[in-house]
């Protein structure tokens, strides 16, 4: 099994933790002060991954935040990677499966939220009271709850019939792409003004819908421009180098174009 250990900013984080762990002098007014969450220690993060799959979101976020992680997958062998995932997560062998301080977790959106809440320090999330926050939250969930769900359903229906790309009336997956494209007509990013975790969540289903020929990227120019911006980030490129060094491996077959 290929194991990649990304150390990123581990040393910086460790030294920062060391600085904050020194005993603080007692504060007489501490009882009256609002309680802030204690800075989280550098966690151990083990990401069970398969190339080109949703586990890339967790790798990308760790790269953005400079969090150290251990990446487990079999390079060039997606079936083998999934066999390893099932060995550690027999009840739900999906990518990502992540061990966070030894606790087994799945659902990429929840894993991203946990890492941001505990280790993000406010990065990649708009402030809760900012105008961008409601849309940020919507797109965080839309990525799996609407776009991925609808695009995958379109794909499966087509595969179960003639394996041809949808033509004629707009499908649910295409509607979900159009709604995203409309939002991006007036916003740079899905989190509003700045790149955020919502963008990390949205890349997978957008890439899936367009690569599988569920939707034609040319019909969604704002999404196309956004994807170029997102994928040009240095952390995305570091993710690719660590998690997809040979490109996509064993992707599902695309639907045939008319």
**Position of minimal CB gap to ligand GSH:** 94
Q: Would you tell me which residues interact with ligand GSH (CB under 6 A)?
A: 53-54, 93-96, 106-109, 144
Q: How far is the CB of 51 from ligand GSH (least distance, A)?
A: 10
Shortest CB 87 distance to ligand GSH, Å: 14
Q: 251: alpha, beta or left, given left = phi > 0 and alpha = psi -120 to 50? A: beta
State the minimum distance, in angstroms, from the CB of residue 120 to ligand GSH: 19
Least distance between ligand GSH and beta carbon 188 (Å): 24
Residue with smaller CB distance to ligand GSH, 13 or 62: 62
The number of residues making up the chain comes to 258
CA atoms within 13 A on the CB side of 31: 1
Nearer residue to ligand GSH within complex by CB, 86 or 175: 86
Distance CA 142, CA 206 (A): 11
- Alpha-carbon gap, residue 215 to 4, rounded angstroms: 34
Task: CB nearer to ligand GSH: give 54 or 244.
Answer: 54
Min dist. Cβ of residue 106 to ligand GSH (A):
6
Give the torsion through C-alpha atoms of 38, 44, 49, 52, to 10 deg.
50
Q: How many CB atoms lie within 10 A of CB 45?
A: 23
Q: Which is nearer to ligand GSH, 13 or 142 (CB)?
A: 142
Comparing CA positions, the residue from 37, 183, 190, 192 lying closest to residue 116 is 37
Nearer to ligand GSH, 13 or 59 (CB): 59
Alpha-carbon distance of 90 to 84, in angstroms, equals: 10
User: In whole angstroms, how close is the CB of 149 to ligand GSH at the nearest point?
Assistant: 9
| Residue among 43 and 109 whose Cβ is closer to ligand GSH | 109
Q: How many CB atoms lie within 10 A of CB 85?
A: 24
């Amino acid at each position: 099994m290929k194991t990649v250990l990304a150390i990123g900013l581990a040393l910086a984080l460790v030294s920062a933790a060391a600085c904050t762990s020194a005993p603080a002098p007692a504060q007489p007014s501490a009882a009256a002060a609002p309680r802030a969450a204690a800075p989280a220690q550098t966690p151990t993060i083990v990401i069970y991954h398969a190339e080109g799959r949703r586990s890339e979101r967790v790798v990308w976020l760790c790269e953005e935040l400079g969090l150290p992680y251990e990446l487990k997958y079999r390079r060039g062998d997606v079936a083998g990677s999934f066999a390893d995932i099932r060995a550690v997560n027999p009840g739900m062998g999906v990518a990502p499966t992540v061990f966070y301080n030894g606790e087994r977790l799945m659902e990429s959106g929840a894993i991203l939220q946990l890492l941001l809440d505990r280790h993000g320090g406010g990065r990649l999330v708009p402030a809760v009271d900012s105008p961008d926050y409601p849309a940020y939250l919507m797109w965080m969930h839309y990525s799996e709850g609407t776009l991925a769900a609808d695009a995958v359903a379109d794909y499966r229906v087509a595969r179960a019939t003639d394996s041809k790309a949808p033509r004629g009336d707009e499908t649910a997956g295409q509607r979900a792409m159009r709604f995203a494209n409309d939002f991006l007509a007036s916003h740079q990013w899905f989190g509003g003004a700045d790149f955020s975790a919502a963008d990390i969540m949205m890349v997978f289903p957008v890439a899936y819908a367009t690569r599988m020929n569920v939707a034609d990227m040319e019909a969604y120019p704002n999404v196309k421009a956004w994807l170029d911006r997102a994928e040009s980030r240095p952390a995305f490129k570091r993710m690719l180098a660590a998690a997809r060094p040979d490109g996509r491996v064993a992707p599902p077959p695309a639907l045939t174009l008319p």
